[in-house]
């Protein structure tokens, strides 16, 4: 496997965010592009990262799959500079990481056995879909984080609420259809579900790098957060609901 991506900083934000949720990830180099997927040990979070073939300046693949320890890989990937291109090349049992910008830097990262060969995306029917500019989601989560370690999403056909409540206080952010930054709100009836807020705060870096954020959820069901990133890249995270 060999690939080149023109914006190393996009990978930096994605991997740094994912490393706060999971400790290892499986890389699958397929015909359509590169997929990185992992399920955390508690089965609360599933992370799926995809870079389509046409988002890559160079791409060679023979269907390789391997694992990466994110705790060590993130130390290399955070060294990406804003003007760097990123080249990843599998060399034996090592991943060669090359930054090409004002000067070149090279690292070798050990690979591991992949945790799985196939981890399908959950097939669940989520009744609400909110499309919004990423900054709105960031601000809403940060507002609620002040008072609570959980976040509740509520919606009907034209209203989306982000709510947090605890012994120390209460916070509510409301967005309506037509508000600046709200692309669309679609919901079958009213929906309401609560999640650990840390899973969303850990992703604020990638959210800030996204072009569009899409939040899907249903009452007492997992939430699906899709971040559409530059050059067709995509980060999808499933978070299990918090039960009382």
Cα–Cα distance, 92 to 110 (Å, whole number): 9
Length of the chain as a residue count? 244
Q: Is residue 68 pLDDT above 80, yes or no?
A: yes
Residues 13 and 102 in one domain: yes
Q: Is residue 230 pLDDT above 90, yes or no?
A: no
**Which of 54, 76, 110 represents a domain boundary (last residue)?**
110
Domain boundaries, position 29? 2-110
Mean pLDDT of 199-225: 95
Q: What was the pLDDT predicted at 244?
A: 63
Does a structural domain hold residue 121? no
Q: How is 97-155 classified by DSSP, letter by letter?
A: EEEESSSEEEEEEE-B--S-S--PPP-----EEEEE-HHHHHHHHHHHHTT-SEEEEEE
Does a structural domain hold residue 149? yes
Half-sphere exposure of 31 (CA within 13 A, CB side): 0
pLDDT over 70 percentage in the chain: 98
Q: Check which CATH number belongs to the domain holding 161 and give it.
A: 3.70.10.10
Q: Domain total for the chain?
A: 2
Does a structural domain hold residue 117? no
Q: Is residue 234 pLDDT above 70, yes or no?
A: yes
Does a structural domain hold residue 122? no
Residues 104 and 145 in one domain: no
Residues 104 and 154 in one domain: no
More confident residue, 116 or 220: 220
Residues 167 and 222 in one domain: yes
Residues 91 and 134 in one domain: no
Q: What was the pLDDT predicted at 165?
A: 96
Residues 79 and 134 in one domain: no
Q: What was the pLDDT predicted at 116?
A: 73
Cα–Cα distance, 99 to 154 (Å, whole number): 43
**Which of 82, 110, 138 represents a domain boundary (last residue)?**
110
Predicted TM-score (pTM) of this structure:
0.93
153-172 per-position pLDDT tens digit: 999 889 999 999 999 999 99
Strands 24-29 and 2-5: unpaired
Q: What was the pLDDT predicted at 71?
A: 93
Does a structural domain hold residue 123? no
Q: Is residue 95 pLDDT above 90, yes or no?
A: yes
Q: What was the pLDDT predicted at 43?
A: 84
168: Cβ contacts below 8 Å, ≥ 6 apart: 147
Residues 133 and 234 in one domain: yes
Residues 83 and 160 in one domain: no
Q: 120 pLDDT band (50/70/90 cuts)?
A: confident
Residues 102 and 134 in one domain: no
Kindly report which listed range (11-15, 88-92, 217-221) carries the lowest average pLDDT score.
11-15
């Amino acid at each position: 496997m060999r690939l080149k991506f023109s914006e190393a900083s996009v990978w930096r934000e994605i991997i740094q965010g994912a490393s706060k949720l999971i400790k290892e990830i499986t890389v699958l180099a397929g015909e359509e592009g590169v997929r990185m997927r992992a399920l955390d040990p508690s089965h609360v979070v599933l992370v799926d990262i995809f870079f389509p073939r046409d988002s890559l300046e160079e791409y060679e693949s023979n269907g390789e799959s391997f694992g990466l320890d994110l705790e060590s890989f993130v130390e290399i990937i955070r060294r990406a500079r804003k003007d760097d291109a990123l080249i990843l090349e599998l060399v034996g049992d090592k991943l060669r990481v090359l930054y090409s910008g004002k000067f070149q830097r090279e690292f070798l990262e050990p690979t591991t056995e992949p945790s799985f060969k196939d981890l399908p995306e959950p097939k669940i029917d989520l009744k609400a879909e909110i499309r919004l500019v990423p900054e709105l989601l960031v601000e809403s989560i940060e507002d609620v984080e002040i008072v609570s370690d959980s976040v509740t999403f509520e919606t009907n056909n034209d209203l989306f609420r982000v709510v947090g409540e605890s012994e120390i206080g209460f916070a509510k952010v409301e967005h309506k259809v037509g508000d600046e930054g709200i692309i669309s709100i679609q919901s079958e009836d009213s929906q309401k579900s609560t999640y650990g807020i840390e899973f969303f705060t850990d992703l604020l870096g990638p959210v800030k790098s996204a072009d569009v954020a899409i939040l899907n959820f249903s009452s007492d069901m997992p939430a699906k957060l899709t971040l559409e990133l530059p050059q067709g890249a995509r980060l999808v995270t499933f978070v299990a609901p918090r039960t009382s």
